[in-house]
């Protein structure tokens, strides 16, 4: 076990910040508040000089801490006085399956976006639109290219992503179509 250096801390922050904000947003539905919660978790790690055994234990700590802070907020008198989230809704958010599913979604999304960033610009642009549920025709219209070009670029992208994503590829190809 060791405390993390400033360089390691910054690297973890840069790598995890956006995923954790999106994860928190799934709980509380407020992106600005989600950012505050994630920043609070990172500040606590730094100020308390928390040590970790491994990279997995850091991720586990981050996601669990963000979840707990979100649930604390949802149970607060301030939140309950202005919002209509029922106790049953909060109980659903407290379940392990909800937590694990949201962690998996954020981690998978990060892996996909990192892989897409390695593609040529036009391929990446087409895949990102595809992920946002644009049809081939919509992508063609948006980028002012032919549908055949969209299909060809997607084919190139899949071919380049396959070796990068390996075991994730089957799941991702279903998600992108």
As a whole number of angstroms, the distance between CA 171 and CA 109 comes to: 12
Provide the whole-model pTM: 0.59
Per-residue pLDDT of the chain (177 residues; tens, 9 = 90+): 556 778 888 888 888 898 899 889 988 888 899 999 999 999 988 888 877 777 778 888 899 999 999 988 888 867 666 666 667 777 777 777 777 777 777 777 777 788 888 888 888 888 888 877 889 999 899 889 999 999 999 888 888 887 777 766 555 555 444
CA distance 79 to 63: 21
């Amino acid at each position: 076990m060791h405390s993390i250096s400033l360089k390691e801390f910054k690297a973890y922050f840069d790598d995890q910040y956006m995923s954790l904000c999106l994860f928190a947003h799934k709980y509380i539905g407020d992106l600005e508040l989600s950012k505050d919660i994630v920043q609070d978790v990172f500040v606590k790690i730094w100020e308390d000089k928390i040590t970790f055994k491994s990279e997995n234990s850091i991720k586990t700590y981050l996601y669990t801490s963000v979840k707990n802070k979100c649930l604390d907020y949802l149970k607060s008198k301030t939140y309950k006085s202005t919002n209509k989230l029922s106790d049953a809704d909060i109980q659903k958010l407290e379940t392990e399956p909800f937590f694990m599913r949201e962690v998996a979604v954020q981690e998978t999304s990060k892996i996909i976006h990192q892989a897409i960033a390695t593609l040529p610009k036009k391929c990446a642009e087409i895949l990102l639109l595809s992920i946002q549920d644009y049809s081939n025709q919509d992508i063609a219209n948006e980028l002012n290219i032919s549908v055949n070009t969209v299909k060809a670029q997607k084919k190139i992208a899949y071919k380049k992503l396959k070796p990068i994503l390996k075991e994730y590829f089957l799941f991702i190809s279903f998600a992108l179509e």
